[in-house]
């Protein structure tokens, strides 16, 4: 498994074919930033088109259904996104947990379906503001992970990343302190090693997400156990997104 920083753009519900020029620009820049692994998750409608443009970056989906096929109007299966060119899928994002009432049990079913379909998974977790205020954030996040992850990984550890995204930091311009990010990532690492053993548990990358921008990326990515970033708003232009990638590569433009 590559240990390069993993910088992933989550385009959320943004982007029509007009955005393909940004995807091309991201891909071209990524070819020069080889110290960093760059990926984007566009809406379903653009997965195939971005995949066709991309020579360097991986393309992913933002969700998938836990089933393989059948009467699920409006849903898309893991095999379908893989067929469209997705290499990974983001699962359990707070905007799905909150906006679509997704439980951790449902996220776990999706995760198992995605692994079965050969996809890599970025599993999201993160606490709401009131939980952070009450000081119960670690318990909350570890409970989410406990219920969203399978009991064993069966060699799939290298295909899994966890993204810690405090809900109150998403799209707000606010971030936890570096100390708070470090504390949460350390707890997640301890949990993963306890759950899956040293070998699998220590190789799962733990990304941070929530208001990552070019001007805070370098310090956040330098925190121990931060293996990359899941970026929303700042991934929508090649310029800001690739400045984050540049910061992740410590300025190396090789």
Instruction: For ligand 13P, give the closer residue by CB, 14 or 190.
Output: 14
122 touches 91 (CB < 8 A): yes
Backbone torsion region of residue 251, taken as left when φ is above 0, otherwise alpha when ψ lies between -120 and 50, otherwise beta? left
Instruction: For ligand 13P, give the closer residue by CB, 156 or 236.
Output: 236
166 touches 132 (CB < 8 A): yes
- Can you tell me which of 66, 157, 209, 228 binds ligand 13P, judged by CB under 6 A? 209
d(CA 253, CA 246): 7
Instruction: For ligand 13P, give the closer residue by CB, 122 or 196.
Output: 122
Catalytically annotated residue among 37, 51, 65, 93:
93
In three-state secondary structure terms, 245 is: helix
- Can you tell me which of 212, 217, 220, 221 binds ligand 13P, judged by CB under 6 A? 212
DSSP letter, residue 135: T
Instruction: For ligand 13P, give the closer residue by CB, 123 or 230.
Output: 230
Would you count residue 161 as binding ligand 13P (CB under 6 A)? Answer: no
Closest contact distance (angstroms) between CB of 212 and ligand 13P is 5
Whether the CA torsion 182, 184, 187, 189 is positive or negative: it is negative
163 touches 124 (CB < 8 A): yes
Q: Which of residues 10-69 bind ligand 13P (CB under 6 A)?
A: 10
- Please work out the total of residues on this chain that contact ligand 13P, with binding judged by CB under 6 A: 14
Options 28-36, 111-119, 151-159, 225-233: segment touching ligand 13P (CB under 6 A): 225-233
Q: CB under 8 Å to 251, separation ≥6 — which residues?
A: none
Mark whether 93 is an active-site residue: yes
- The C-alpha angle with vertex 60 and arms to 99 and 159, in degrees rounded to 5, equals 100
Catalytically annotated residue among 22, 95, 165, 225:
165
Mark whether 165 is an active-site residue: yes
Contact positions toward ligand 13P, by CB under 6 A? 10, 93, 165, 170-171, 209-212, 230-234
What positions carry a catalytic annotation?
A: 93, 165
């Amino acid at each position: 498994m590559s240990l390069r920083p993993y910088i992933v753009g989550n385009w959320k519900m943004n982007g029509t074919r007009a955005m393909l020029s940004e995807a091309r620009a991201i891909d071209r820049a990524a070819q020069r930033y080889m110290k960093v692994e760059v990926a984007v998750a566009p809406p379903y409608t653009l997965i195939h088109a971005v995949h066709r443009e991309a020579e360097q970056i991986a393309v992913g989906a933002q969700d998938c259904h836990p089933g393989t096929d059948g009467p699920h109007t409006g849903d898309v299966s893991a095999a379908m996104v893989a067929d469209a060119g997705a290499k990974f899928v983001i699962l359990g994002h707070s905007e799905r947990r909150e906006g679509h009432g997704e439980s951790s049990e449902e996220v776990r079913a999706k995760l198992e379906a995605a692994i079965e379909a050969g996809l890599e998974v970025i599993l999201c977790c993160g606490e709401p503001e009131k939980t952070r205020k009450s000081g119960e954030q670690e318990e909350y996040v570890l409970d989410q992970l406990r219920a969203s992850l399978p009991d064993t990984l069966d060699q799939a550890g290298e295909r899994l990343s966890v993204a810690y995204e405090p809900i109150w930091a998403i799209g707000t311009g606010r971030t936890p302190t570096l100390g708070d990010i470090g504390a949460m990532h350390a707890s997640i690492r301890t949990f993963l090693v306890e759950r899956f053993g040293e070998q699998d548990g220590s190789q799962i990358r733990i990304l941070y997400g929530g208001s990552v921008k070019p001007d805070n990326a370098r310090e956040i990515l330098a925190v121990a156990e931060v293996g990359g970033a899941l970026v929303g708003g700042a991934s929508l232009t090649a310029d800001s997104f690739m400045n984050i990638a540049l910061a992740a590569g410590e300025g190396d433009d090789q």
